[in-house]
Amino acid sequence: MGRNSMPVENRGDTELCLFIEPYCEDYWMGPGETLTVRSEAEGVDVWFDTHVSKGCITVWLYEDGDPYKIVGDYAVVDASGTRLDSGHQRPRGQRWSAAGPIID
């Protein structure tokens, strides 16, 4: 059985954005919070490509590591397993650019 999930933990002392591409979905974590990105596709070995920038972790999900096979059937869940919606805990007045959230 392949990989199908990846936990992301905010070990910092400020909010952290988990940004899922190519859908531009954002999930915000407070300090000490962990969210898990998981594939909902059966029998797929998912590779998680991550990019870290100031205040943000961007994740792409690929089938078998092939960047032409994007896994679009996924969920982001909290520590209790509750499925979250995009915009989870988004800070009020959050600004955006074409590349994602603007972190000052």
pLDDT in tens, 30-56: 999 999 999 998 888 899 999 999 899
pLDDT-derived band at 94, boundaries 50, 70, 90:
confident
Is residue 97 predicted with pLDDT exceeding 90?
A: no
Q: For residue 79, is it within any domain?
A: yes
Contact present, 35 and 18 (Cβ < 8 Å): yes
Q: For residue 99, is it within any domain?
A: no
Q: For residue 93, is it within any domain?
A: no
Q: For residue 94, is it within any domain?
A: no
pTM, to two decimals: 0.90
Tally of domains within the chain: 1
Q: For residue 95, is it within any domain?
A: no
CB count in 10 Å sphere of residue 97: 7
For 62, the domain range is 5-88
Q: For residue 100, is it within any domain?
A: no
Q: For residue 97, is it within any domain?
A: no
